Amino acid sequence: MADAHKKVRVLVFGTFDGLHPGHKHFFQQAKAYGDELCVVVSRDDTVLQVKGKKPKYTERKRLAVLQKIPMVHEAVLGNPGSKYDIIEELKPDVICLGYDQQAFTAELKPELKRRNMEKIRVMRLEPFEEHIYKSSKLNK
């Protein structure tokens, strides 16, 4: 008999340029909101546009690392065009944002509504020792 319980899909976005304990904590928090954790890895060009510099590791290397993490159900590269197309494609029930994530977040809820995806819950996660585990500090 098929499982009657619909799996709750949680989506997170990020650069993930060298994984550290803060990322692990981020994934654990996000996973607590559902059954499947999907990770969208920012494209190299997007990272350059948002952060003003290229990531330390290429998008392919960052993706390969995330695909090996047991709690990550699926890891994919972001879309080079619209940042919202990947949301339509992956159909999450919940989107979890990092405590300091600013890129594309201000317009997220209005854009979800415009695309008839307003049922997606958007959650802001808590930091984990951000004075130590923050990629911008670790990747200097």
The range of the structural domain enclosing residue 131 comes to 11-138
Q: Number of folded domains in the chain? A: 1
Domain membership of residue 98 (yes or no) is yes
The total of other beta-carbon atoms located within 10 Å of residue 9's CB is 20
Distance CA(49)–CA(68), nearest Å, equals: 27
Closest CA to 99 of 126, 130, 121, 123: 126
Distance CA(107)–CA(123), nearest Å, equals: 14
Closest CA to 69 of 31, 34, 95: 31
Domain membership of residue 3 (yes or no) is no
The per-residue pLDDT for range 3-34, each reduced to its tens digit, is 567 899 999 999 999 888 888 999 999 999 99
The per-residue pLDDT for range 87-136, each reduced to its tens digit, is 999 999 999 999 888 777 888 999 999 999 999 999 999 887 655 545 44
Q: Which CATH number is 114's domain given?
A: 3.40.50.620
